[in-house]
Each structure stands twice: as structure tokens, then as C-alpha cells.
Amino acid sequence: MRHFRKVVIAFIGLAFSLAMGCGGGSSPATKASVIASSGQNVAPIVVNSGPANFYANGAFATVTVCVPGTSTCQTIDGVLVDTGSSGLRILSSALTIALPRQKAASGSPVVECLQFLGSYTWGPVQTADVQIAGEKAASAPIQVLSDTDFKAPTACSNGFPSANTLNTLGANGILGIGATAQDCGTFCEQVQASGFNPYYECSSSTSCQAVGESIAQQVVNPVVLFGSDNNGVIIELPAVSGSTATLSGSLVFGIGTQSNNALGSATVYTMDSTLSFTTSYKGTPYSGSFIDSGSNGYFFLDSSIVPALVDCPNTSNAPGFYCPASVQNLSATNQGINRASGTVNFSIANAQTLFANTNDTVFSQLGGPSIIPPASGGNSISPYFDWGLPFFYGRNVYTAIEGASTPGGTGPYWAY
């Protein structure tokens, strides 16, 4: 039996403030994607079960990494396309070439921790030339995921399991092409005396101390290092009715930089300082909401119509998802900081029923609770609505990078 799970990236960007730009917006437009299938700025992506053969709603791309300035390269497929994080992360088990490690001022290797919702990644920062389609990011800091090179400190693991193997990550790596230029920004330039620190220097395999990391040395969104087409990305996937085995689409680099990446009539939804906008659902505004290709469903809490959207049993083939008795046709309204707004119609089906067909990996009606109510009862807070990969089916979804100039204004923003 294949295992299915949700992967929800926790934005490091939630921890610090960014300088916001302004974007324009008009009435919403939802239409079938027109796939840009060719061009030096276009990389094919596929939604399938991934290299571990258990993924649901995972979009995967192929990335080439090289020893900087050389022709010693390796092409790695099965890398998860994630607009909810920034930076390239590759499993050490998938990497066969030796990339130079980044060193702290002390001479010790720099190692990074990135926390997800329910798991974490850990591993040394290394440097690579990153090639995707016809684009190249030279000497980019990336993270190589490993449980064995260095022991993760308790402050990193936080009681959660690691996602540093193929069986736990479900992919050979993560291609973080989100709205930030780096994965941490000014927050990580200084050690935080209390709270989470993503960067460490490790004097031995078992001794790691938190360290400040300059912006230039942080794991970087590779798009910002491209010579052109470096202000954002577009994910283009066809519409899906129900479920299907696989789905092919395109990852397009740049917004308004070439004839194949025009903004067109898409509505711009600018982000706030936490890289979020507001989704209003059943009269409740959730100001911490976001669009994230690295999440494999719609994740939100709906206590108003329970038991219509009942949670799947933990002992089922779909724990963490919704299992309504019949398909629920729902709607919500997104609003950017620029006041652009639009209603999104979507449906949630029974995840147990969806997963019963083991030939399918693409599910347009997959969803689950953003925060599961405590078993002992009491109040549960749902601060966000997570528009995961099903939202991308049948839309061209734009992610503009912070501070970047685009035809829709200065990033960061989403547009669709």
C-alpha cells in the first residue's frame, strides 16, 4: 500500500518583516492554463507519485548541479517544486558529486536547519552551479540533507522527525522558488538568544552551535541568481476534473521578461510582511493565508459544517485529510494587501475514496484541516488557509520575488 501525507512548508518568512512593494490588480480571472512548453526559461514539471512512489499531488522537476566553475555535473530528477520556501535542498543520498562546503569564520562547516510543519530538514550548506532548463545560478549556496554528517541539535528537531531521506521526504530534494530571495534574510544575520536559529557551525559531528549567517551566504532562491528571467516564476498546469494518474505542465522563469511569461490579465495579490494575504471563508477572515505548490491539498479548518467535512480516521489510508460523505462544493475569497480580491470555487472529496485508486496521484479535490482540533476538546485556532497544489490545476499562478520589478509592480505578490 502506498502512503500519502501532506507536506506543508512553514515559511521562515513569517518570523521577520520585509520591505513591501505595491502591485496592481483587477477582477479575478480563472481560466485553463496555456502551457509554455518551450523556451530557455521553461522547465517541464510532472505531477506523479515521485521517486519514492507514494506522493499525492507532488509537482516534480529536474535540476542539474555542478561543482562551481567546472563541467563536473549531476542531473537529479524527482525534485519537489515548492513556491512555499526558498532555496535548493538535495538529499545527500541522491548526490554523487562532491560539492564544496561552506565554512564559518572559525573554519567549521556551516549546517542549516529548516523546520516544516511536523518535520525538519538538516544538513550542511554547500555551493553549486545550479542549472534548470536554460537558466543558470552560479555559485549558489544550497543545502544537502543528511542525518549522518552532523547531529541535529534539539532546538532544530523540536521533537519532530527529520525529512532527510527519500522515504521521509518523498522526493530527491526541494526546489524552493518562493517569494524571498534567501531562505532567512536579515533575521539570520544575528544569533537569536531565545527562539529558533536556522544556521549552525559544527566543530564536530556532534557539536553544533547557532551562528549568524550573512545574507550573501544564506541558502538562496536560485532564480534570483539567473542572468535574466530572475524576478519570479509561473507554474502552469492543466485543469483536472476529479483525479488522474499523472499531469504534465511547465515551470516558467521570469514575469514579463519574455513573450512566453507575460502577466496578461492575471490579478495581482500583494503579500504582507509575513508573505501572506487574507482568505475569507464562511465569513471568517484568515490573514495568514498563502498559495503554496509544496502543499498537496487545500488545508483549512471548517468547524461550521462538521460532520460534513469530517476528518479521515487516523487508522485509515488518509489521516490528516477530510473524508466527507459526499463531495463538498465550497468557495472562499482572497484579498491582497493592495485590496485586489476574487472568489475561488473549489471542492473537497473523500480522501479515502480518492486514495483507493492506487493508479491516481493527481487529486483536484483533496483537502484537510490546517490545524486538527485537540482530542480533549476545547478551542482550536486556524490562522491560515493554505492553497496547495490543487489550486494550481487550470491556472497560471505567478510568484513574484521580493524587491523585484515586474509588470505587475514590485514583488512580493501572487497573481493568477
The pLDDT value given to residue 2: 36
- Using CA atoms, how far apart are residues 401 and 9, in angstroms rounded to an integer? 17
The pLDDT value given to residue 248: 97
- The set of residues, in sequence order, having a beta carbon less than 8 Å from that of 283 and lying 6+ positions away, is none
Give the residue among 210, 89, 91, 211 at the shortest CA–CA distance from 149: 91
Question: How many C-beta atoms lie closer than 10 Å to residue 315's C-beta?
Answer: 6
The pLDDT value given to residue 19: 27
- Using CA atoms, how far apart are residues 58 and 390, in angstroms rounded to an integer? 10
The pLDDT value given to residue 33: 56
The pLDDT value given to residue 116: 79
CA distances to 20, 65, 137, 327, 363 from 359, rounded to whole Å, are: 44, 32, 37, 21, 11
Name the one residue in this structure whose C-alpha cell is 558529486: 97
DSSP state of 177: E
Q: Are 74 and 64 in contact (CB under 8 A)?
A: yes
Domain covering 36-225 assigned CATH 2.40.70 in the classification: yes
- Using CA atoms, how far apart are residues 335 and 278, in angstroms rounded to an integer? 5
The pLDDT value given to residue 14: 34
The residue ranges of every structural domain in the chain are 36-225, 258-415
- Using CA atoms, how far apart are residues 243 and 349, in angstroms rounded to an integer? 10
The pLDDT value given to residue 307: 61
The pLDDT value given to residue 196: 83
SS3 128: strand
The pLDDT value given to residue 12: 39
Number of residues assigned to the chain: 416
Q: What are phi and psi of 224, to 5 degrees?
A: -70, -15
pTM of the complete model: 0.91
Q: What are phi and psi of 359, to 5 degrees?
A: -85, -20
CA 284 to chain centre: 25
Beta bridge partners of 60: 46, 80
- Using CA atoms, how far apart are residues 385 and 125, in angstroms rounded to an integer? 32
Cell of 228: 535574466
The pLDDT value given to residue 34: 67
Q: Which of the residues in the chain have pLDDT under 50?
A: 1-31, 372-380
Beta-strand relationship, 367-368 and 298-299: parallel
- The set of residues, in sequence order, having a beta carbon less than 8 Å from that of 216 and lying 6+ positions away, is none
Concatenated DSSP letters of 9-42: ---GGGGS------B---S-----------STTE
